[in-house]
Amino acid sequence: MIRTHYSTQITPDMNGSSVTICGWAHEIRDLGGITFLVVRDREGLVQVTLFKKTIDKNVLEVVRGLSRESVVTVTGAVKKEAKAPNGYELVPAAVTVLGCAESPLPMDTTGKVDADLDTRLDARFMDTRRPGTQAIFRIRHLLLKSVRDYLAREGFVEITTPKVVATATEGGTALFPITYFEREAFLNQSPQLFKQLMMSGGLDRVFEIGPIFRAEEHDTRKHLNEATSIDIEASFLDNEDVMVILENLVKHVYSSVAEDGAKHLKTLGVEVKVPKTPFKRVAYDEAIDIARDHGEKIEWGDDLTTESEHSIGETIGEHYFIVDWPTKIKPFYAQPYENKPEICRAFDMMHPRMELSSGAQRVHSYEILRSRIEAQGLNADSFEFYLKAFRFGMPPHAGWGLGAERLLMTMLGIDNIREVVLFPRDRKRLSP
């Protein structure tokens, strides 16, 4: 049962060598005098060829009795064959069934019969056997790896913050309450408050990749109620400094995926175009003017609608930042401009299709921060654990949060965000 090779590790030059592969029975074709078993492993397909006149009868009976998607191990000799996948086939000496699959299958894995998204998500364990679906999650792995590599190289320290909290991160009602022993608690909306505490703690530059929870009743192609957020916070930097880090990170991720994920991109039929930096900076005032020019009814001080984002994105046509937002529509921790307090040092990083990231230079003054909390109708006493850190030496700092799923779906041109999450949680789906 011990695997010696994945499918792509075997080459035609190994002609005559004995190997052992493990995987799933992708297809079985019995043509009488010759039987083909196609075995699929994580890396690709292997054609196993059984000639009736020369093969051991017991091996032939095992293969002819196989059900599709049963788990098998095959030991055999490599035979150079130009017409076979990867230029070789296996002539088996032994085929062992490790796990028999029932019939009918919940869905087809060959790509010959399509299935709707709900069917695929209901049988996600089967859906991820499909090469296209697996390619998405192999690329997701590369994306997160490249994020970690880049941020570590930039001097960031990875941290882990609580997901069960006593206080809303940003106020509002978009919270999932839970029972925490005899008290009420919430699933965290963001690591925001905790990563800021680490600025007071002296870690200087931190990042986290982890889940966030938003109890918003959206039912769209771009919203989730549990998502993965890539967050940073950095001391002694301002809003422009962390925007540069963000745009360079996005460029690095695209470059890394294009290079390291070429095989998986080919499976999906996707060509990744690395964005050029620096990204264009578009002031909020200019953004709403663009939206108005496209017929959107939007007033100064309004947040951007989905329609407005589309209009602006079509006009810009590439990744860009919207900067200098009205203070009143951004979180209490966004730093207002000293000479124009109705505007703050906040930004959103946009793909032409949608928002990918939001960030800001933060308020680091205890007095200003407390007044900003109260100005937004929140109880400052509920944030005492957070405010306390600002009374004992808090450096200027800035940061952002970037949606991993949105970054991936826009990179790959995928229409529905649920495609890039193994087990999505949305307004309707809680299982599997």
Residue 126 Cα distances to 6, 22, 106, 190, angstroms: 20, 17, 7, 32
> Across the chain, what does the average pLDDT equal?
96
Task: Give the residue-averaged pLDDT of 384-404.
Answer: 97
pLDDT tens track for 175-206: 999 999 999 999 999 999 999 999 999 999 99
pLDDT tens track for 51-95: 999 999 999 999 999 999 999 999 999 999 999 988 999 999 999
Residues with Cβ within 8 Å of residue 114, at least 6 apart in sequence: 108
Q: How confident is the model at residue 357 (pLDDT cuts 50, 70, 90)?
A: very high
pLDDT tens track for 274-309: 999 999 999 999 999 999 999 999 999 999 999 999
Place of tokens 């690591």: 191
Q: Could you tell me the two tokens for 426?
A: 């949305």
* Domains, in order of start, for the chain: 7-99 (2.40.50.140), 126-279+318-420 (3.30.930.10)
For residue 111, the model assigns a pLDDT of: 82
What is the DSSP track for 324-335? EEEGGGS-TTBP
| pTM confidence score | 0.94
pLDDT more than 90, % of the chain: 93
* pLDDT above 90 for 170: no
